[in-house]
């Protein structure tokens, strides 16, 4: 596995999924629970920020305030979505993409051996490496939400088609 490719393909999946989504469909609630597509993207933007912090911490002991919030707040997801509620869909996508760009920039400077070193994230578990964390926490997460958005788009086609 190559973590850099996994991050790139996860991002591409999300962006491809958003293609063709009508502008008036971005804020319709009920795509996932009470969340809209914009809310899902706000949620993914917060996770991408967590990954920025995690990779930054590996590079230079960068602080991880968003990661710490994730650990300490049982309603982290809803709080992060609420923080972005006043933003436009374009703003939320721009934030997500900016965080992803920083993730990829950091990933290019981390040696491949570090991605595969068990215990590099002590809080994640001594038997797991950074690639495991990326695949399970970020790639799979993006695929899951992309599938939910795809189903929503199919429902829209059924309504309008």
pLDDT at 160: 63
pLDDT digits (tens, 9 = 90+) for 16-28: 999 999 999 999 9
Report pLDDT for 1: 74
Determine contact, residues 156/25, Cβ cutoff 8 Å: yes
Mean pLDDT, rounded, for 64-69: 96
pLDDT recorded at residue 150: 97
3-state secondary structure of 68: helix
pLDDT digits (tens, 9 = 90+) for 32-49: 999 999 999 999 999 999
Q: What is residue 159's predicted lDDT score, i.e. its pLDDT?
A: 73
- Band of residue 98 on the pLDDT scale cut at 50, 70, 90: very high
pLDDT, greater one: 161 or 104? 104
* 7 pLDDT higher than 60: yes
Structural domain spans, the chain: 3-16+26-160
What is the reported pLDDT for 161? Answer: 56
Under 8 Å between Cβ of 42 and 87: yes
What integer is the mean pLDDT of 147-161? 88
Helices 3-18 and 89-109, axial angle in degrees (round to 10): 170
Global pTM exceeds 0.75: yes
Q: Inform me whether the pLDDT recorded for 80 exceeds 90.
A: yes
Q: How high is the mean pLDDT of the chain? A: 95
Measured N-to-C along each axis, helices 89-109 and 37-60 cross at an angle, to the nearest 10 degrees, of 20
Q: Give CATH for domain 3-16+26-160.
A: 1.20.120
CA distance 71 to 67: 6
Mean pLDDT of the 6-18 span? 98
């Amino acid at each position: 596995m190559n973590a850099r490719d996994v991050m790139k393909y996860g991002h591409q999946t999300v962006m491809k999924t958003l293609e063709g989504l009508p502008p008036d469909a971005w804020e319709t609630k009920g795509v996932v629970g009470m969340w809209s597509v914009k809310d899902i993207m706000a949620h993914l933007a917060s996770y991408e920020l967590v990954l920025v912090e995690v990779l930054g911490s590996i590079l230079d002991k960068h602080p991880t305030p968003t990661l710490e919030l994730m650990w300490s707040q049982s309603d982290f997801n809803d709080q992060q979505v609420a923080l972005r509620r006043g933003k436009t869909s374009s703003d939320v996508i721009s934030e997500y993409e900016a965080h992803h760009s920083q993730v990829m920039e950091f990933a290019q400077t981390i040696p491949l051996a570090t991605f595969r070193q068990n215990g590099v994230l002590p809080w994640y578990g001594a038997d797991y490496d950074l690639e495991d964390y990326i695949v399970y926490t970020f790639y799979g997460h993006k695929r899951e939400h992309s599938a939910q958005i795809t189903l929503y788009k199919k429902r829209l086609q059924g309504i309008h088609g």
